[in-house]
Chain A
Amino acid sequence: MIVAPALQVEHLSVEFRTRSGIVKALDNVSFAVGKGETLALVGESGSGKSVTAYAIMGILDPAGRVTGGKAMLGALDLLHATPDEIGKVRGREIAMIFQNPRTALNPIRPVGRQIADVLLRHADVTRREAPARAIELLRAVGITDPARRAKAYPFEMSGGMCQRVMIAIALAAKPSLLIADEPTTGLDVTTQAVIMDLIGELAAEIGMATIFITHDLALAAQRAKHIAVMHAGHVVELAETQEMFAHPRHPYTAELIAATPDTAASLDQLASIPGSLPDLRRADLPPCRYSERCPRKLASCDQPLPVMPPENPHTVACWNPL
């Protein structure tokens, strides 16, 4: 349990309108992140990790709607704050690293300028200091020849370099909450280590809390204090990292760990998780959205999911856990 959370998300639900029906993307999502701590959000593609991040940031697609819950940043409920209140914290108090860096950057502005813009807007940096600080930040994210690279446009940089510019922008204002959506997927492991160290340093220095969205369980194991596992819009398991890997309790978590190529000797040995996410538009979604692909399903799985008391150190939304 987290004593003084930097962010507390409770019962968050989100829906999208589409031409072919309502997508129930998030249902009753709850978790908390402590000051200076990292919570990893893992789970299958399409399970709602990015939507969770967008909801907290207040940048859902116009077709999306928060249908319930709250997200408390200190005393401010981000989900029900006025645009004015949100505008004050976004970029300064909370910052986000997007999954898609190239589209998140301005294509017609040199990257050094883009970082300087953020510094001017959100950090107490003067117009004269800004360019040098921007170069410093580029160096910190491991860009070689930063003074020259500051003048480059995004199209002149590699995928991983754009990603690191995005990271520099997010960290520029030293936010108290960082939402990092797969910040290092485009990076080789040595550069990845540089970035994760940098995030770790800021966490230690200013108590920045981090929501770390990733598919890389090994990286989550190495860097996060807690892990929340998502499946089809639900948080199905939440525990301290070591505990989660030592004793996964939700059948889905166990499958996820078994599908990691980390230790496998050959491709045929790897098992994909049977079945796929249920169609989230269905009116008859079962209470446990994993039940239709679950090898441990019981008759009792059709009743509403057990509540996950927030004071438990290891919670699991399952009637027949491991």
Chain B
Amino acid sequence: MTTTLLDITELAKRFPAGKPAGPIARLRKRFAGGPEKLPQVYAVDDVSFTIAQGETVGLVGESGCGKSTLVRVLTRLLDPTDGGIKLGARELSHTPARRFARDQDRKRIQMVFQDAGESVNPRFTAFEAIADPLRRLRGLSGTNLRHKVEEAASRCGLPLELLTRFPHQLSGGQRARVGIARAVAVEPDLLVLDEPTAALDVSVQVVILQLLQRLKRELGMSYLFVSHDLSVVRLLCDRVLVMYLGKIVESGPARAVFDHPLHPYTQALVAAVPSINEHGHTRLRLTGEPRSPIDPDPNVCRFYGRCPNGVDRCKTEMPALRSFPGGREAACHFAELTAQ
């Protein structure tokens, strides 16, 4: 029996696109009638999924499709526009992000940021960066603290002699390891990693991936793992979510999804992965203009226009996410055909 750790229901996040109009334009609009409606970026649009205790879920998708926004909302760094976020028995979506920063459950969700440079305070040494959340969230100090920091650093393959360095004195991959050590040290229930291995070389990457797997076994930690590296997702994740323009278009066991993708976007993604053994070989490309995430038509499939299988139905009826055998889901009118 698996227990659900995180339950996301119909989550949405929209951003205003562009600056609000100036005062004169606003006045003019008001007199023209109706409330002012700014164009909006539909960054995350009606997303539902769960993560079980001890489960590793991968999140993949095109650049700009809303992965970082989704994880920032569910780690409560951003407020959702709509929808529910349940951690265990607790509903988190009503707690404003500002308040959650000091919440007692903060330590249960930790995040490794996409941009290691962004999350590490430039005036903190590597030691301070790792120590800071341990002090704040776990109340450690003195030798306990030092011990825990060094343990986290060596677990993440960060040489201890680098602990006295400031971020600008570290290479990209060394900074990334500081970011990972900092989140891992707190031993949260859910660790959200936004492209943690992008800046790492393959050898350090192996160290980090094996560390994550060990922590999962030892502590029962759950992960949401955002990555562009499909081979890593395949190796690490139990399940994968594929996102396209704010929506989940496919999900299921990682291997099954990558070996037999049901959605044409997933198919294109899998086909574009380069391999060591094919020098100079260029693969099939997606053609056509991608749809804009700004005020998208709710009745048109988001992939229409680039999809090699698109037909008229795809621009009059948004395909719903439906279940398929083997714990899979897909949102394409043709998924039943593909599944056969």
| Interface: B256 (CB within 8 A) | no
Q: Are A160 and B174 in contact (CB under 8 A)?
A: no
A152 CA / B43 CA spacing, docked (Å): 15
Q: Which of A163-209 contact B (CB under 8 A)?
A: 163-164, 182, 185-194, 197
Q: Which residue of B lies closest to A144 (CB)?
A: B290
Q: Are A245 and B64 in contact (CB under 8 A)?
A: no
Q: Which residue of A lies closest to B289 (CB)?
A: A144
| Interface: B300 (CB within 8 A) | no
A263 CA / B283 CA spacing, docked (Å): 18
Task: Kindly list chain A residues whose C-beta atoms are within 8 Å of the C-beta of B94.
Answer: none
| Interface: B232 (CB within 8 A) | yes
| Interface: B34 (CB within 8 A) | no
Question: Size range of the interface on B?
Answer: 35 or more
Task: Kindly list chain B residues whose C-beta atoms are within 8 Å of the C-beta of A66.
Answer: none
Task: Kindly list chain A residues whose C-beta atoms are within 8 Å of the C-beta of B292.
Answer: 144-145, 148
Q: Which residue of B lies closest to A186 (CB)?
A: B198
| Interface: B200 (CB within 8 A) | yes
A221 CA / B275 CA spacing, docked (Å): 8
Nearest CB of chain B from residue A240's CB, rounded to whole Å = 10
Q: Are B199 and A271 in contact (CB under 8 A)?
A: no
Task: Kindly list chain A residues whose C-beta atoms are within 8 Å of the C-beta of B117.
Answer: 100, 102-103
| Interface: B18 (CB within 8 A) | yes
Q: Which residue of B lies closest to A277 (CB)?
A: B159
Q: Are A102 and B294 in contact (CB under 8 A)?
A: no
Q: Which residue of B lies closest to A19 (CB)?
A: B164
Nearest CB of chain A from residue B65's CB, rounded to whole Å = 8
| Interface: B253 (CB within 8 A) | no
The verdict on A267 contacting B210 (CB below 8 Å), with A144-B293, A188-B60 known, is: yes
Q: Are A256 and B205 in contact (CB under 8 A)?
A: no
Q: Are B204 and A182 in contact (CB under 8 A)?
A: no
Nearest CB of chain B from residue A253's CB, rounded to whole Å = 12
Nearest CB of chain B from residue A41's CB, rounded to whole Å = 12
Q: Are A160 and B272 in contact (CB under 8 A)?
A: no
The verdict on A222 contacting B213 (CB below 8 Å), with A43-B201, A270-B206 known, is: no
User: Can you pick out 16 interface pairs between chain A and chain B where the beta carbons lie within 8 Å of each other?
Assistant: A44-B204, A45-B176, A148-B18, A158-B68, A159-B195, A182-B172, A186-B114, A186-B198, A190-B272, A190-B285, A222-B280, A267-B210, A267-B235, A270-B206, A272-B207, A281-B161
Besides A145-B293, A188-B63, 10 more A-B contacts (Cβ < 8 Å) are: A18-B169, A45-B174, A45-B176, A47-B201, A158-B63, A215-B202, A218-B274, A222-B280, A261-B205, A267-B210
